[in-house]
Structure 1
Amino acid sequence: MDSDTNIQDQLKIFREGVKTFENSLEAFKNNCIEAGWSTNGFMLPKEVVIISKLETEDVVNTYFWNYFMCNNKEHYRVLNNSIICSQIDGKYIKLYKECLFAFEHEKNIICLNSLFPILEGLLRKYVNNDQFISVRNICSDLLKETPDYAFSLERKSWEINQGIINKIYKYEKLSTVEPEFINRNWLLHGRSTYNVTSLDCLKLMNLIGTLSNDFNRKTRKSIH
């Protein structure tokens, strides 16, 4: 009898944990998009719950900055190694290493502007298309291909990627006030005030890392 009771108690705790995780996913996604932080689809459930409860963009930014830069920069080093050792084109690896040099010497404008070709080249690798094609459309099509099942962090990860890329590539008239979030149009058309921070650079590096990891997984699946 005691054994049956113990099993029931454990099942109850498990169901409550699943419910908490399920309820956290949407808030987690919204917080990540709002602040501009992608995820690789393999975050621990407890991290998802923590991020879902963060109340402001500044607090989310602080959480992710500390995630990468604390503990002897362990996650930062893992991020960079995953990109450098990925299966993206060698020319982008070369450019990324120069971006790293710029980032670590606080040359944030050079770093951020140089990350865009890597991001766009990586997205075009997904569709194997060197012709002009909308980056936002590529991401939208990839999202449609991602299974939509319960508690899917992979699905949520791609929804976050889509949301961030929509913000980065959102058309903003150059005659208006410059957007607060990273905007490719303003940066690469020379209209930005270039108040670029290390935080901006790390967000784009993280997005590239997320996409390169996913590309590696898809490549391995196609081989097998």
Structure 2
Amino acid sequence: MKDLEPILNSIEELQKRNLQMFKAASQAAMISNIIPKEMLNVAIKAEELGQQIKTIVDEDLLQKVFDGFSTLTIDLPLPKIDFLDFDEQRLERIIRHNVSVGWTLTGEMPTDLYLRDEYLKMKHDEIDQIFISFYEQNEYQQLKSLINTLKDGLSERWSEIFDHSLDLYLEGKFKIAIPALISIIEGELSMILGTQSIGTQLMKQFKSKLDDKLKILTIATYSAYYFLDEHLFKSHKFSDSRLPLLNRNWILHGRDDPSAWKKEDALKLLNTLSTLQFIKEVEIT
């Protein structure tokens, strides 16, 4: 098989290139909501051929697969995306409304699910049911996908505590998992930003990254920023009334009332972690 190594290496590089291009198109679609059909077909074909390669031991057959793969070319100019061409105020209203309920946009979540004008007229519990159903339908298919994303993407330091938190969540003991998930969120964000800052300073550094370089990630990134800055990490006096959503300071400083915590609160934290993984994956910094 040594004689085949150059071919295998070439196929691997082509796979990486095609999938990276598809990923770039998908990221652009976070705003345009358009993934070129040809790009999708190329990525699917690359994956299919990659699976075939694993079972091929015959040199002639492998060469045929390679010849077929080498005919796949990427000559698809991505659509020019100018964020200002879109109704920026509309997008911001929907994003802020969704995060006021606790939902951020993940890399796996369809934008047409997240960006719906009708949410603006819906009650919070109605919106909750839409996103909960998204994760629980088809025998929890999307929840399983989210879990896999987190297991693959989270820093190794969180592996054990995340597994324990996940077990507790699945067993219905989600309240114990909530403080741990908040700690993981803060730790992951600090690593993404490359900072030792906490609290207000951490949010300021996050905000400093929200410039033109992030336009392809505007929806996901801003949803995470608004949720963390205006809700989860919001400064709120302990003498004031409890906020509607979970608050990091109140929980980790022992001021919140755990009887108010719900299972969907834990799911929202898992959802937020998935958003951070998407941001980390495309290296916004």
Could you say which TM-score interval applies, normalised by the shorter chain? 0.7 to 0.9
> What does the per-residue CA deviation read over 1:25-66, in whole Å, with 9 as the maximum and x for residues that have no partner?
3443133122110112564353245x3312222211110000
Q: Where does residue 124 of structure 2 map in the other structure? A: 57
Q: Is 2:165 aligned against 1:81?
A: no
Please tell me the residue identity of whatever aligns with 2:159.
Answer: I
The one-character-per-residue Cα deviations of 1:187-214 (angstroms, maximum 9, x if unpaired) are: 1111111121111001011101110122
Q: 1:39 aligns with which of 94, 105, 119?
A: 105
Shift in alpha-carbon separation, 1:113–1:45, aligned structure 2, 3 A: closer
Between 1 and 2, higher relative CO (CA 8 Å, sep ≥ 6) is seen in 1
Q: How far apart are 1:109 and its partner, in Å?
A: 2.0
Partner of 1:101: 167
Q: Does 1:157 align with 2:220?
A: yes
1:108–1:60 CA distance, 2 compared to 1 (3 A): same
TM (norm. structure 1) is: 0.78
Aligned residue for 1:37, secondary structure, equals: coil
The alignment's TM-score, normalised by the length of structure 2, stands at: 0.62
Of 160, 183, 195, 2:247 maps to 183
Amino acid at match of 1:94: E
Question: 2:120 aligned with 1:120, yes or no?
Answer: no
How high is the sequence identity, in percent, across the aligned residues?
20
Output one character per residue of 1:82-117: Cα deviation in whole Å (capped at 9) or x when no partner. 01011x321212211111011112222211101122
Question: Following TM superposition, by how much is the alpha carbon of 1:145 offset from its aligned partner in structure 2, in angstroms?
Answer: 5.6
- Structure whose CA Rg is larger: 2
Which runs of no fewer than 5 residues in structure 1 stay unpaired? Answer: 1-20
**Root mean square deviation of aligned Cα:** 2.3
Maintained 8 Å contact 1:82/1:209:
yes
User: Match for residue 205 of structure 2?
Assistant: 138
Q: Which residue of the partner structure matches residue 261 of structure 2?
A: 196
Counterpart for residue 16 of structure 1: none
Task: Confirm or deny that 1:28 pairs with 2:91.
Answer: no
Partner SS for 1:73: helix
| Mapped contact 1:83–1:213 kept (Cα < 8 A) | no
Runs of 4+ in 1 over 6 A off after TM superposition: none
Could you tell me which runs of 5 or more consecutive residues in structure 2 were left unpaired when the two chains were aligned: 1-84
